[in-house]
Structure 1
Amino acid sequence: MSSKSMDLIVVLTSVLALLFAQTINGVTVELIHPNSPSNPNRNQFDWIRQAYNNTRSRAAFIHSRLLGVDDSSKFKTDMIPNGGGYIMKYSVGTPPFETYGIADTGSDVTWTQCQPCTDCFPQTPPIFDPKNSNSYKTTPCDSDACSIFGSICSDQKVCQYDITYGDQSHTAGDVATDTLTIGDGSFTDVMFGCGHNNSGFPDVSSGIFGLGYSNVSFVKKLRNQIDGKFAYCLSPQPDSKSYISFGTDAIVTGADAVSTPFAVSLDKTIFYWLSLESMSAGDKNFPVKQSSTSDTSDQTGNVIIDSGTMLTVIPTDMFNSLKSELTKQIPATPIDDPQGEFGLCYSTSDKFEAPKIVAHFSGADVSLSSRGIFQQAGEGISCLTIVPDQHLNIFIFGNLSEVDYLVGYDLKAKTVTFKPADCSKF
């Protein structure tokens, strides 16, 4: 073969490699709102009530994980896990098989229900059968992958996982690898959980898509292929579009973009910790007085940013001050929540306008969208979507405080960037 032919082959190979890299480095897919009209079991108000219970259970569960104890039973509920999570469509296997997972920065393991289902929750989409995938492989017990994902071994020497969440929902099955397809990007040999024994999840999802920071997370394992970047844009409206992007599609810049560093716990690396210095309502500022239970690495953090939690949880004393100031600035009379859950509610007939609420992070002031800070929680009642921590000492920046923003995570720079955005346009 001539040197010119060899040079041509090298050039063509480089071009094909570049095209492939572009395909997997920039992908965007739509997210489904937990109260989407596509959910046949939706109720106009149940989702926000489920979100309240989800937030309480999740805070208690995170608290127990950080302290190494199990006190999550204090807030056990009958809620469904996606009471606060947006659902992401992706595909697994070769040929691609469409499935749905709750996009969750507070979870690291990606898993989906698999055939044969020993004990599975009902789901609307068909269940993935690994026998139909040419690229599916189980993980041997003696592999390095098994040691970081799980330590259970089956009689067939296949690595197993077993996870129980804070609301006692559960998944267990095989640790496996397969091709995951997101939009027009494909990722080969991705480690995930093939769940054969699962309970407590909503029928509109098939499992969880883990976006946390640990070594088993999709975004951490494939950080080189996606350049360590992902971003989401969430709409509070059930019938409006939301989306999530990876790689070059997830670069968040612009004059109105603000960034704050995130930290990771030394022993619990799933969560993204931000430093919340204060919150303000109008011209009144309320500093954070309590510290977090987290022992972080190179930076400090006191609040977890969590796409899987809908409400924002702040220190009780800060909440009381914020509530007191809001009642002064809002020209309407507060009413009690009939279910005794939300701390500040008004009649929807009052047509009130709330003052601007700003979360002041280290280096970034984020003005919360008016469409997220109050939500209709029942017929004729609208409630504040910020709640007190009830002395659990766990603070969470939930997704209703992130709506109408493009929120970008950069795992290399260790920053979270907020940019105001219309999520219906992408």
Structure 2
Amino acid sequence: MGRLVATLVLVMCSAACSLARAHGGGLRRGVERANMRGRLLADAAVAGGGGGVVPIYWSQPLYMANLTIGTPPQPASAIIHLAGEFVWTQCSPCRRCFKQDLPLFNRSASSTYRPEPCGTALCESVPASTCSGDGVCSYEVETMFGDTSGIGGTDTFAIGTATASLAFGCAMDSNIKQLLGASGVVGLGRTPWSLVGQMNATAFSYCLAPHGAAGKKSALLLGASAKLAGGKSAATTPLVNTSDDSSDYMIHLEGIKFGDVIIAPPPNGSVVLVDTIFGVSFLVDAAFQAIKKAVTVAVGAAPMATPTKPFDLCFPKAAAAAGANSSLPLPDVVLTFQGAAALTVPPSKYMYDAGNGTVCLAMMSSAMLNLTTELSILGRLHQENIHFLFDLDKETLSFEPADCSSLS
């Protein structure tokens, strides 16, 4: 129970603020990437015709990567956040920092660290950027985990087989209670400051091994390394053309099937955010209520009057096993996106063992996030063992079933 619930507790309290801001503000993609490429000299093997492979691992309850920063290299660990706007890590000296497993990054001990000057296009692309008294670019941003502020700089990063000089946030004041031992965040969002934006990658992909698979690595692949196996199981859907201010990757949901039950999402609630932070998936309320009803009928047992928090629908495991329809296997949930791209969620992924003899529906209503617009979210649990490929030139998302642990 702890892994999934911990993720929900970690992110749900700040989700409404973070997602709302993502639709109306944030790092400005309008800054031309040419400005970034001229100053941030990504390794040719990654940014050019080659590629990079980054092993990522499950660290309850999120996926992380190990990396080094600076010369000589200093170790760090970071949460991998698909919609994250930029790369940042905690630095010393630190006025207010959360606890992390590794030492704070000491920029004065790195011969390759360079502070970002005020007035550059890069500095001005940061929200709430200011100029410190010594002419160094300062920033303050809201993240999915809380507010963080510090100074901008560049240094040498090594993450997996990828090596590059990256611009990053050197955080020295964070209103964040914890980051699960991580030093910071590696964002992959559609912004100039993200890892993907700075690597000038025209494509990237990731594949998440099941979180319960002990010792099995997941993978993030950059550039030419980002390829699907192909075949009949691969599907492709266009990415939603979001505003220049949004770091999100979104797709259009056209239909939901639960066995023979067809559920049509409302026209104004068909946009789905693909994200690696949320543990479960969220559906607009009308679609969720229809799924909830269909699951209850299919289980054939009375749901718990008080479901296990934060879930909305739970059953005693014994009652579900002995329910009126217990002899029939539960059907798959099939999400169909624009272009007839179908993603199948088996019962093992949408019926979650919440412990204490309880199973719960691992889907929830997005109404509980108090968003200003109706939005669905494809959560991490329903992405496991699926290889997702983001083609940034074609503006498409392709995916296929895969053994993710074999890709790293």
Instruction: Tell me if both proteins adopt one fold, taking TM over 0.5 as the criterion.
Output: yes
Q: Give the unaligned 5+ runs of structure 1.
A: 1-44, 70-81, 293-300
Q: Contact between 1:139 and 1:146, CA under 8 Å: does it hold in 2?
A: yes
Read off the aligned partner of 2:392 and give its amino acid letter.
L
1:145 Cα deviation after fit: 1.1
RMSD after superposition: 2.3
Counterpart position of 2:30: none
Q: Does the Cα contact within 8 Å between 1:369 and 1:404 map onto a contact in 2?
A: no
Deviation larger for 349-358 or 118-127: 349-358
CA pair 137-63 structure 1, distance change in 2 beyond 3 A: closer
After superposition, where does 1:326-365 map in structure 2 within 5 Å?
A: 326-349=295-318, 350-351=320-321, 353-363=329-339, 364-365=341-342
Matched, 1:157 2:157: no
**Residue type at the aligned position of 1:228:** A
**Quick one: which of 312, 319, 322 aligns to 2:281?**
312
Equivalent of residue 231 in structure 1, options 206, 222, 245: 206
Once the two structures are superposed, residues 278-329 of structure 1 have per-residue CA deviations (whole angstroms, 9 ceiling, x without a partner) of 111112110111415xxxxxxxx71111112222111111111111111222
Shift of 1:238: 5.5
Judge conservation of contact 2:331–2:346 (CA < 8 Å) in 1: no
Instruction: Pick the aligned partner of 1:324 from 293, 304, 319.
Output: 293
- Counterpart position of 2:149: 172
- Cα deviation for residue 205 of structure 1 reads 0.7
* Preserved CA contact (<8 Å) 2:115 2:152: yes
Whether contact under 8 Å (1:60, 1:166) holds in the other structure is no
Aligned partners of 1:126 and 1:66: how far apart in 2? Answer: 31
Question: TM-score by structure 2 length?
Answer: 0.81
**TM-score relative to the length of structure 1:** 0.78
Tell me the equivalent position of 2:181.
204
Say which of 125, 135, 147 aligns to 2:124: 147
State how 1:40-189 maps to structure 2 within 5 Å.
45-54=1-10, 56-65=12-21, 85-150=62-127, 151-165=129-143, 169-188=146-165
Secondary structure at 2:105's aligned position in 1?
Answer: coil
The CA deviation at 1:209 is 0.7
CA contact (8 A) 2:205 2:389 kept: yes
Tell whether the 8 Å contact from 2:308 to 2:354 is kept in structure 1 after alignment: no
Question: Could you say if the C-alpha distance between residues 203 and 411 of structure 1 is closer, same or farther in structure 2, counting changes exceeding 3 Å?
Answer: same
Following superposition, the deviation at residue 337 of structure 1 comes to 4.6
Deviation at 1:331, TM superposition (A): 4.4
Match of 1:285 in 2: 262
Distance 1:66 1:117, change over 3 A: closer
Query: Are positions 1:394 and 2:375 aligned together?
Result: yes
CA deviations on 1:185-238 (whole Å, 9 max, x unpaired) are 2112x1110111123222421111111112221102222xx4432323342315
Distance 1:159 1:59, change over 3 A: same
Q: Secondary structure at the match of 2:406?
A: coil
Letter in 1 for 2:405: S
**2:375 matched to 1:406?**
no
- Code of the aligned partner of 1:282: G
SS in structure 2 of the partner of residue 275 of structure 1: strand
Distance in 2 of aligned mates of 1:250 and 1:365 = 21
Residues 304, 67 of structure 1: CA spacing in aligned structure 2 closer, same or farther, 3 A cutoff?
closer
Aligned partners of 2:317, 2:11: CA distance in 1, in Å? Answer: 24
SS state of the match for residue 323, structure 1?
A: helix
Aligned residues: 358
Aligned-residue offset at 1:418? 1.2
Alignment-mate amino acid for residue 289 of structure 1: P
Query: Which deviates more from structure 2 when the two are superposed, residues 324-333 or residues 210-219?
Result: 324-333
Give me the whole-angstrom Cα distance separating, in 1, the residues matched to 2:364 and 2:333: 14
User: What secondary structure, in the 3-state scheme, does the structure 1 residue paired with 2:103 have?
Assistant: coil
In structure 2, relative to structure 1, the CA distance for the partners of 1:106 and 1:209 (3 Å cut) is same
Tell me which amino acid in the other structure corresponds to 1:97. Q
